[in-house]
Amino acid sequence: MPLRFALFSHSVRSDWNNGHAHFLRGLVRALLSKGHEVACYEEAGNWSVSNLVAARGWRPLVESRRCFPFLRPRLYNADLPAPSGSASRYAPPRLAGERLSASPSDPTTRLDTSPHTTSPLERRLHRELAEVDVVIIHEWTAIENPALLDLLLRLKRAYGFVLFFHDNHYRILTQPVRMARLGLDRCDAVLAFSPSIAAAYRQVLGLDPKAVHVVHEAADTALFHPLPPDPRQPMDDALFVGNWGGRDRAAELRAFLFRPARHVRPQRRFALYGVRYPPEVLRVIQRFYGVDYRGWLPNHHVPAALARARVVLHVPRRQYVKVLYGTPTIRVFEALACGSALVSTPWPDTDGLFRAGEDYVVAETPAQLEEALQWLWSDETARLRLGRSGLQRILAAHTCNHRAEQILGIVARLRGDAPAPLARESVRNGDRPPAGLVTPHRAAVGTPVGMPAELGVSGD
């Protein structure tokens, strides 16, 4: 039976410094392909959209609408009073030319006479969510506007829909008191994008373990799939797509991206896409290290960029390595879905999502990374073998269709439409992080995982 979903997120229109949009767009596409209905809600003039328009104008939003015509987001102004005891929130401006959305059959100008409604948004959502089966509110949206979460909880009591809180961030670890104020025990379930975040909700907030589910991100394979390189464009020898992270990974980028680029300049071309790199950093990156910085790359253009790269680099932020065990970034799923030869610095894959050494190469030191690059640049067969293995793994277990099926299963169990599954802990060691956060797949010291041992370098 088709279900009606409502998704409240920061933005699906803009992915400017908003990686959350990548997975959510794919999830919406997957649910629609299965015959369900999905209405997407986002605040007018939100932070990501405002920054995108300031940097690039309106053209990227027009292009995004053409690329994702199925989204059709409904815009709103968060004109709700802050709940008692909540922190003040940022109120983004409404951009010039931006119109608030209305339900096609029920304009927002029509008033609800219910005595329990007090704002235009509340009156509107009383109408538009009355027949909805499932509502998903994203963590960023809820933390910015706790009053919206409170409103959805009231509407849940009135109309009986399932309410999910979706988190693919780590604020639960950095701001636990602020998260505790949300009262998430009132939601039907938390959908956490990693076992480490799920463990925090169970242990820090004391939520019922059965109400916290690990729903990893995944690749939108309708968009991310192997493409032939554009013959009109030169090939890049190494590609990194990622935003500036400041102290989160400045040292790692210098060691695993910038210095290796300098060592092989000008014979090899290193390309970098991303935003929020300070001007002084960009000057050093371009002039001293010789990296070709190309600015913001819309996510729907990433597959073409991956197709033009001989090797793709993945350098996760420090918290993904030290704290967020079992958490690959969305870039891993996307690169492997495009059949890229991926080289990554270590991250603890406690859920065994991928096969290090088969699906991608792990380089634990800068020397290992440089050796792995030389090997893959000179061995096209190895690049193709890695790409095929990673793509097969994605198609077998890590597409947005897989995640949609998982969420639909959770909905069915909550609604009593399906039997509960056998208990299964996502993390191999329960809620305990692995000792030392050591990646389970290791190779001999000095040899990048996935690279022939005879091509390894010394461990210095």
- Condensed to tens digits (0 to 9), the pLDDT of residues 252-302 reads 999 999 999 999 999 999 999 999 999 999 999 999 999 999 999 999 999
Structure tokens at 137: 């509110």
Quickly tell me which residue has 């409103």 as its tokens: 151
Residue 95 near residue 49 (C-beta atoms within 8 A): yes
pLDDT over 50 (residue 40): yes
- pLDDT tens figures, 212-234: 999 999 999 999 999 999 999 99
- Which of 132, 73, 64, 134 shows the shortest CA–CA distance to 102? 73
Rounded Cα gap, residues 261 and 189, in angstroms = 45
The domains located in the chain, with CATH, are: 4-214 (3.40.50.11930), 236-396+437-455 (3.40.50.2000)
pLDDT band at 81 (very low <50, low <70, confident <90, very high): confident
Structure tokens at 395: 């198609």
Q: Collect all residues with Cβ–Cβ distance below 8 Å to 13 and sequence separation of at least 6.
A: 21, 42, 49, 61, 64, 65, 71, 73
Residue 344 one-letter amino acid: S
pTM (two decimals): 0.87
pLDDT over 50 (residue 304): yes
- Which of 82, 98, 110, 136 shows the shortest CA–CA distance to 14? 98
E strand map for 23-70? 37-43
- The strand order across the sheet containing 342-344 reads 292-293, 270-273, 236-241, 309-314, 342-344, 361-362
At residue 270, the 3 state secondary structure works out as strand
Structure tokens at 61: 């939003």
C-alpha torsion sign, points 322, 323, 325, 328: negative
Rounded Cα gap, residues 116 and 126, in angstroms = 10
Q: What are phi and psi of 225, to 5 degrees?
A: -155, 160
Q: What is the pLDDT of residue 80?
A: 82
Residue 46 near residue 78 (C-beta atoms within 8 A): no
Residue 253 one-letter amino acid: L
